DNA sequence: GTTGAGTGCAACCAAAGGTTGCGAAAGGTT
DNA sequence: AACCTTTCGCAACCTTTGGTTGCACTCAAC
């Protein structure tokens, strides 16, 4: 019945800061906790925790470079996440359409049976 | 740059329990806190809090019926939420495609310049 | 009126997101 | 080599959020 989604993956992209982080990594290429925190309204440590969450679900992965850690989006995993978004969306969309269709059918029946 | 989404709306559907609740309301029609809690792994009070959240962002609305409160999905608002899901999804999708295209272009250039 | 189902409110707990503070490691400068 | 700066990770702490239990209230039905 209900749409099957990976809750871990979904809740990873459920956070607005994490969504923006993914946006930034996609738009500007690989980045570090420090570079991301400069473009976000939270501290580096908060960003670091978010990076850990995204890393844990595999949406991004880190590449140590000297004293820095460059994070970058895992394209395949993000594609999976996108697929889940559209899956939930289209399921709800389909249900909305079905409900509307049924409602219209009932309305038609009522109008025919009882006149106006 | 980043996709404009209503954070309130998004975080409302970000919770797995709330997403399932919407699923149930769509599939079975209007329901109460008690009826929903019977089909969910949490207590009625937890469901009640989630209903309050969904109500606050307008995704559902309640209709008092005797001693019960029947909640039902606000179709227009849910349609808005679905639109946002697909907006974020298609933005990421587009960026992934762009990155892939650029990567391929670079690969082609490299192969042409340096031979094999 | 009493009993039962459905609600709402309050107190309490645990996990998540955020902050500050500090110490360690890598890179650049003198 | 010694020093300073940048970046990072860890620990302590606070607040919000999702969850629970317990209790009092309302409405329907007997």
Answer whether residue A39 is part of any domain.
yes
| Domain CATH number, residue A42 | 1.10.10.10
Answer whether residue A100 is part of any domain.
yes
The total of structural domains in chain A comes to 1
Mean pLDDT along residues B42-67: 96
Domain holding A18, by residue range, is: 7-114
Answer whether residue B64 is part of any domain.
yes
Residue A115 pLDDT exceeds 80: no
Give the pLDDT of residue A2: 63
Confidence of residue A6 (pLDDT cuts 50, 70, 90): confident
Euclidean distance between CA atoms A35 and B17, whole angstroms: 34
Answer whether residue B42 is part of any domain.
yes
Answer whether residue B2 is part of any domain.
no
For A61-75, give one letter per residue: b (16+ CB within 10 A) or e.
Answer: ebeeeeeebbbebbb
Mean pLDDT along residues B80-92: 93
Answer whether residue A35 is part of any domain.
yes
Q: Which residues pair with A70 in a beta bridge?
A: A63
Task: State the nearest Cα–Cα gap between A93 and chain B, in angstroms.
Answer: 7
Chain B residues with CB-CB distance to A under 8 A? 1-3, 5, 7, 10-11, 14-16, 19-20, 22-24, 26-27, 75, 78-79, 81-82, 85-86, 88-89, 91-93, 95-96, 99-100
- pLDDT, tens only, A35-70: 999 999 999 999 999 999 999 999 999 999 999 999
Answer whether residue A2 is part of any domain.
no
Answer whether residue A1 is part of any domain.
no
Give the pLDDT of residue B1: 58
Residue B116 pLDDT exceeds 70: no
pTM above 0.85, yes or no: yes
């Amino acid at each position: 019945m209900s749409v099957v989604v990976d809750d871990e993956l979904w809740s990873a992209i459920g956070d607005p800061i994490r969504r923006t982080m993914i946006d930034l990594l996609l738009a500007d290429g690989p980045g570090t906790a420090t570079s991301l925190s400069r473009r976000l309204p939270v501290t580096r440590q908060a960003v670091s925790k978010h990076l850990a969450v995204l890393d844990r679900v595999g949406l991004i992965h880190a590449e140590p470079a000297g004293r820095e850690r460059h994070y970058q989006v895992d394209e395949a995993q993000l594609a999976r996440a996108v697929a889940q978004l559209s899956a939930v969306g289209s399921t709800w969309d389909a249900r909305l359409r079905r409900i509307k269709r049924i409602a219209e059918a009932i309305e038609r029946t009522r109008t025919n049976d009882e006149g106006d």
